Amino acid sequence: MTLDSVPSVPITLTQCAKTFRGTRVLEPLDLSIGAGETLVLLGPSGCGKTTTLRMIAGLETPDAGGRIAFGDDDVTALPIERRQVGMVFQSYALFPNLTVRGNIGYGLKIRRVPAQIARQRVDDLLAMMRLGAHADKPIAQLSGGQRQRVALARALAVQPRVLLLDEPLTALDARLRDSLRADMNALLRELGITTIYVTHDQAEAMELGDRIVVMSEGRIEQIGTPRDIYYRPANRTVAQFIGTLNRLAGESRDGVLQTTGGAVPLPSHACAPRMHASHASIGHDAPHELFFRPEDAYLADPASAHLRGTVEHASFLGERTRLTIGGAAPDALLIDVAGRVELARGTPVGVSIAQDALIALS
Ligand SMILES: Nc1ncnc2c1ncn2[C@@H]1O[C@H](COP(=O)(O)OP(=O)(O)OP(=O)(O)O)[C@@H](O)[C@H]1O
Ligand SMILES: [Mg+2]
């Protein structure tokens, strides 16, 4: 089913900084969100995700000089009720004294939408969110997942131009989160509404985001598609925040990085002469460290493998086994192999890394 929503708009933040009582919590940030795009703000606690979202909602004002536009409308000075945004908070903030129907229809009532139209719209949303059987229950009788869907339906009822979601799944247990994440994904694709989704859960960010903004300490570290962020992290902060990363340290010469248990070929982008922005000179800064993901390594004949080491630990995880390999690099390496592979502790192994999977980080 479809809901006749207003056309989605692009959003532009220009030099939006935020200072609370003399403390700068957000550095001036520039951000463009395409019409209909789902942009995820990802980062550790306190990095400024909610503050950014609240500025877009109209619940906080950026410091002087910051500007927020929805399409061609400059909304910087508009309060939340005039921005046409739908918002879902981590806590849901539902009205406990109203029924499901009452909660979803609340915004329509406030806006004096004619009763028949409002009723139809609430019925559509109840169906869309699979809440029909609960329509007349008070909020207190709903499960966490049902409450989350009521909050989403309430945000959508007023036909927002922009949907703002602040950790909407965080309050739920792990299983429910996984299934609602898939529902959420389907729903956002179907609605095609410009959405900003805040989370500190990388799996959520990967599944839901058309693009992800990785933030840390009030700054944007990287903006990119989930694949960009995962395979081409801009720096260590991003790389360490997303997924698991192995480190190979040693000396590089003659096109290889020599480390404890062998050598790996330097990735082509790491050997090219590079301009040093700070010195404006050309240098060959061959890396002392390279990184790779556990799933990008494979077991190989020790005689011809890049690295040699021994199995220190094997964790069987069902579809895969995660091996801890010692002696191959200064740090133990984590590598993923098929679940059926069984290797005892102390087994000598060869480990090679897939071509193009080595990452050099600044
Ligand atoms: N109203 C406020 N007054 C003073 N400081 C604030 C206020 N709101 C947020 N801060 C501070 O701004 C910083 C960013 O907060 P914000 O809520 O945006 O973080 P967050 O990324 O959403 O974190 P979390 O994942 O924990 O929700 C924090 O250091 C926080 O203490
Ligand atoms: Mg927050």
What's the pLDDT at 241?
A: 86
Q: Minimum-distance ligand to the CA of 52?
A: 1
Using the 3D structure, point to which of 241, 265, 281 is the last residue of a domain: 241
Residues 268 and 344 in one domain: yes
Query: Which residue from 40, 41, 49 has its CB within 8 A of the most atoms of ligand 1, so it is best to mutate?
Result: 49
Residues 218 and 262 in one domain: no
Q: Kindly list the protein residues whose Cβ atom lies closer than 6 A to any atom of ligand 1.
A: 20, 25, 43, 45-51, 200
Residues 43 and 166 in one domain: yes
Residues 297 and 229 in one domain: no
Query: Which residue from 20, 167, 169 has its CB within 8 A of the most atoms of ligand 1, so it is best to mutate?
Result: 20
Residues 274 and 198 in one domain: no
Assess whether pLDDT exceeds 60 at residue 282.
Answer: no
> Which residues lie at CB < 5 A from ion ligand 2?
50
Residue 1 lies in a domain: no
CA of 47 to the centre of ligand 1 (A): 7
Residues 167 and 257 in one domain: no
Pairing mode, strands 251-253 and 256-259: antiparallel
Residues 199 and 274 in one domain: no
Residues 232 and 252 in one domain: no
What's the pLDDT at 5?
A: 59
Residues 254 and 231 in one domain: no
The token duo for 293 is 């993901």
Q: Minimum-distance ligand to the CA of 19?
A: 1
Note the pLDDT tens digit of each residue in 215-250: 999 999 999 999 999 989 999 899 888 889 999 999
What's the rounded mean pLDDT across residues 295-304?
96
Residues 90 and 201 in one domain: yes
Residues 325 and 295 in one domain: yes
Q: What is the CATH number of the domain that holds 298?
A: 2.40.50.140
CA of 46 to the centre of ligand 1 (A): 5
Q: How far, in Å, are 51, 52, 71 from residue 19 at the CA level?
A: 10, 12, 26
Q: Report which protein residue has its CA nearest ligand 1's atom 12.
A: 25
Tokens 């792990």, residue?
A: 174
Assess whether pLDDT exceeds 80 at residue 119.
Answer: yes
Assess whether pLDDT exceeds 70 at residue 66.
Answer: yes
Nearest to 335 by CA among 229, 247, 258, 237: 247
Q: How far, in Å, are 18, 81, 157, 158, 159 from residue 113 at the CA level?
A: 36, 15, 11, 10, 12
Assess whether pLDDT exceeds 60 at residue 257.
Answer: yes
User: pTM, whole model, 2 decimals?
Assistant: 0.86
The C-alpha atoms of residue 292 and residue 248 are separated, in whole angstroms, by 8
Residue 2 lies in a domain: no
Structural domain span for residue 83: 11-241
Residues 15 and 60 in one domain: yes
Residue 360 lies in a domain: no
Instruction: Return the C-alpha torsion angle 135, 113, 35, 28, nearest 10.
Output: -100
Tell me what the pLDDT averaged over the chain comes to. 90
- Give the chain's domain count: 2
Exposed e or buried b per residue across 218-241, where buried means at least 16 C-beta atoms within 10 angstroms of its C-beta:
bebbbbbebeebbbebbeebbbeb
